Amino acid sequence: MKKFLVVGFLCLAIGLSGMYANGQSESTSDSGKKVTLQLMYWDNVQKKVIDSALAEFEAANPNITVETSVVPWAQYWQKLQTTTVAGNAPDVFWMNVPNFPKYTSNDLLLNLSPYMKNSTTDASNYPADLMKTYTSKGNVFAIPEQFDTICLVYNKDMFDAAGMKYPDASWDWNTLRDAAIKLTKSTATGTQYGFLSAYGNQSGYYNFMVANGGYIISDDQKKSGFDDPKSIQALQFMVDLIVKDHCAPTGQEMVEQNDYLDLFTSRKVAMATIGSWSVPIVHEALGDSADIAPLPKSPNTGERKSIIHGLSWAGYAKTKNPEATWKLIQFLTDKGFNESLAKTAITIPAYKGMAADWVNAIPSYNLQCFIDALDYSWPYPVSSDTSQWESFATREIKNAFLGTTTVTDAMHSIADQMNKLLAQN
């Protein structure tokens, strides 16, 4: 799951002192020697909270020093791959669902199960689907820090100016389309669009595909669902908003942005689908001018689906300090750290019981929509080759949004390439 650009989101002044001591020992590394751990992640939005947590961790473990590096998403996975191959990877790092199979299949992640058996860490405190995702051959190799779902975000000012009712749970794609057309108009600074029909997968077209009765990959991970007629129909709906209805920014307008969500946060678009991780970015940019609603339903199935994903902390299998590595992972996934994530509204913490604090962190936003999405969630699609087939899928989908290929050709091309790749396993 991609995390977006750095923002100066307010991190509430909460008393972090003592919050992270849940289940944590005051002892240092087992050998008593001084060790330095390297920690790597990609999201500057969490930096203040992580830095505060690490200060508490080092105070409780005076023989352990943690050095951090925040590597931008665009370079993160290349750096992790390079360092693991070279044998000098960080001791602790963020792991996501698409890349997890590759790292476990190559024995690059520290097996956490033996440490969990002798600790206060309880797997039942985390979403079962995520724990299952980060388990391989009966062993846990990463522990979730957060989970995310997808909802619709909208600009209340634009709806008010148009005299229109805000989106609600009754909306389907046709309602969305009609509203987007009405909200599209010429302004002194350019075009105001009704909807950001974006080419992102997790926060965009994946949700439309599965809501329409299509699929991304079969349950046995042997067949692509991109060429399923219902999947194609869903993507065609999204592209038609651009090329036929002209109520969404063009593909070219999107690629010209640092991030296509900038079109929404800069008040050029009235509605967009976003992941819960983007809430701080939206709130920083628009304040109470924005709000959240459920994803619209497919009129063909009467269903809405939200992709669910979750980031985790993992350890390097070849770390020279496995005990200290485990202590840090346990610390960053325990109740205290999750409380800090919740109260600053940065992301939905994975630890059981923390979601309410996250929902209440921005009372003016209907953040409960992201929690309710658990009831109609769809697991993030994975196979041992996820990162490979997502790479060419992203390229083909972007071309369809740019208009350099048709939706049907793009989807069949993805399926053909994907099926060849899956057949090799």
Question: What are the C-alpha distances in Å from 314 to residues 108, 141, 324, 333, 397?
Answer: 10, 6, 13, 10, 31
Sequence-separated (6 or more) residues with CB below 8 Å from residue 89? 80, 83, 108, 316, 318
- Which pLDDT belongs to residue 19? 36
* Digit-coded pLDDT (tens) for 289-332: 999 999 999 999 999 999 999 999 999 999 999 999 999 999 99
Query: What is the pLDDT averaged over residues 36-47?
Result: 93
Beta strands in 97-187 (DSSP E): 135-136, 139-140, 142-144, 146-147, 150-155, 185-187
Q: How confident is the model at residue 94 (pLDDT cuts 50, 70, 90)?
A: very high
* Digit-coded pLDDT (tens) for 180-231: 999 999 998 899 999 999 999 999 999 999 999 999 999 999 999 999 999 9
Can you list the domains of the chain with their CATH numbers?
19-148+309-353 (3.40.190.10), 150-306+380-423 (3.40.190.10)
- Which pLDDT belongs to residue 17? 34
Residue 4 has pLDDT above 80, yes or no: no
Average pLDDT value for the chain: 90
Beta strands in 188-288 (DSSP E): 190-192, 271-275
* Digit-coded pLDDT (tens) for 247-303: 999 999 999 998 999 999 999 999 999 999 999 999 999 999 999 999 999 999 999
Residue 372 has pLDDT above 60, yes or no: yes
Residue 15 has pLDDT above 50, yes or no: no
- Which pLDDT belongs to residue 31? 55
Q: What amino acid is encoded at 256 in this protein?
A: E
- Which pLDDT belongs to residue 16? 34
Q: How confident is the model at residue 153 (pLDDT cuts 50, 70, 90)?
A: very high
Residue 28 has pLDDT above 60, yes or no: no
Q: How far is CA 238 from the centre of its chain?
A: 21
- Which pLDDT belongs to residue 27? 35
- Which pLDDT belongs to residue 385? 87
Residue 336 has pLDDT above 70, yes or no: yes
Residue 3 has pLDDT above 50, yes or no: no
Sequence-separated (6 or more) residues with CB below 8 Å from residue 6? 44, 45
The dihedrals phi and psi of 45, each to the nearest 5 degrees, come to: -60, -30
Cβ atoms of 38 and 90 closer than 8 Å: yes
Cite the DSSP H helix spans in 127-274.
128-133, 156-162, 173-183, 206-211, 229-243, 251-255, 262-265
Evaluated on CA atoms 203, 206, 209, 213, the torsion sign reads: negative
Q: In 3-state terms, what secondary structure has residue 263?
A: helix
- Which pLDDT belongs to residue 314? 98
Look at 143-152, 212-221, 377-386 and tell me which has the smallest mean pLDDT. 377-386
Residue 337 has pLDDT above 70, yes or no: yes
Residue 26 has pLDDT above 50, yes or no: no
**Beta-carbon neighbour count of residue 227 at 10 Å?**
18
* Higher per-residue confidence, 425 vs 401: 401
Q: What amino acid is encoded at 49 in this protein?
A: V
Give me the count of residues in the chain: 425
